Amino acid sequence: MSTRVQRRIEKQRRRYYRWNNLRAMYAAWRLARDPGATRFVFLIGDAQDNIAESERRLGRMNDPFADPALEALWQARFSTLPYDLDALGKLPPDTLGGAYARHMKQGGFRADYYRDERPRHRMQFLRQRMRQTHDVWHVLTGFGADEFDEVGIQGFYAGQYTSAMAAIIAAGAFLKSILRARFRDLEKHVDAFCEGYVAGKRAEPLLAVKWEELWEEKLETLRRRFGIELPRLRRAPAVRALRNAA
């Protein structure tokens, strides 16, 4: 391939990246104004997945699909139906499924809040899987559902794999606290992200775990098996309640 053609392709790629980054920045701004607007979370993820897939194919980022287990999920186009909260709620509260069902019902969350779309490429497949298991990870990591713990779970994601979306959401939270001169909130946001990041780095790789096969396992057993450390700076209310009930 000639140098001229290479330069043209790279120029087109950079234009494509700028467009997707602009979409992500707009979504981050809207999300900072309304943290509950999940459609903007989806927009950030979709835009950044396009860039990440391009860089992954070029070998210019750490490829999460270098893990044979995750690659096997992609090859099988692994997918499951939305989780049955009523069925899971019948499990003991100290199991993964029981704790997850209670977390969802107490928060008024839906198990099918995400768009179930056929992924076009690997990074979009990974994003779809992360959306489906997002609240499973909340329960496993001990991060609750307020805006600070949401930043904490993004830090955990970033510790598990290179996630531009996690960085953008965290940066949006930091910026919101700064612009509103809420420096105590800024400290809590930074603490949550850093604590999540360190915990994510220290834990075993979780991206390819089929949690649907582990619903009946004890939550504490799974945390020990995968090396998941609970947050120490901010104990999530749901975790405290679960411990008190045990």
Q: Please check whether residue 85 is in contact with residue 104, taking contact to mean a CB–CB distance below 8 angstroms.
A: yes
Please state, in angstroms and rounded to a whole number, the distance separating the CA atoms of residues 103 and 81.
19
The total of other beta-carbon atoms located within 10 Å of residue 13's CB is: 14
- Whether 54 has a pLDDT exceeding 80, the answer reads yes
**Domain ranges in the chain?**
3-245
Structure token pair of residue 173: 């939270």
Sign of the Cα pseudo-torsion (136, 141, 146, 150, in order): negative
The whole-number pLDDT of residue 196 equals 97
Q: Which amino acid is at 72?
A: A
pLDDT reported for residue 233 = 74
Is the confidence at residue 239, as pLDDT, over 70?
no
> Taking the model in full, what pTM does it have?
0.86
> Residues 215, 88: contact at Cβ < 8 Å?
yes
Q: Which residue has the higher pLDDT, 244 or 76?
A: 76
pLDDT tens digits for range 191-218: 999 999 999 999 999 999 999 999 999 9
Separation between Cα atoms, residue 84 and residue 80, nearest integer Å:
11
Whose CA is closest to 101, among 114, 90, 112? 90
* CA–CA separation, 130 and 126 (whole Å): 6
* C-alpha–C-alpha distance, residues 37 and 89, integer Å: 27
| Residue predicted with more confidence, 73 or 2 | 73
> 60 pLDDT exceeds 50?
yes
Which residues, at least 6 apart from 144, have a Cβ–Cβ distance to it below 8 Å? 138, 236, 237, 238, 239
pLDDT more than 90, % of the chain: 69
User: Residue 219 burial by CB count (10 A; 0-12/13-18/19+): exposed, middle or buried?
Assistant: buried
Q: Which of 78-82, 98-102, 113-117, 130-134 has the lowest mean pLDDT?
A: 113-117
pLDDT digits (tens, 9 = 90+) for 78-91: 999 889 999 999 99
For residue 174, the model assigns a pLDDT of 93
In the chain, the largest separation of any two C-alpha atoms, in whole Å, equals 67
Q: Which amino acid is at 20?
A: N
Predicted local confidence at residue 238, as pLDDT: 41
103: left (phi over 0), alpha (psi -120 to 50) or beta: alpha
Mean pLDDT rounded to a whole number for the chain: 90
pLDDT at residue 145 is higher than 50? yes
Tokens at 226, concatenated:
């995968």
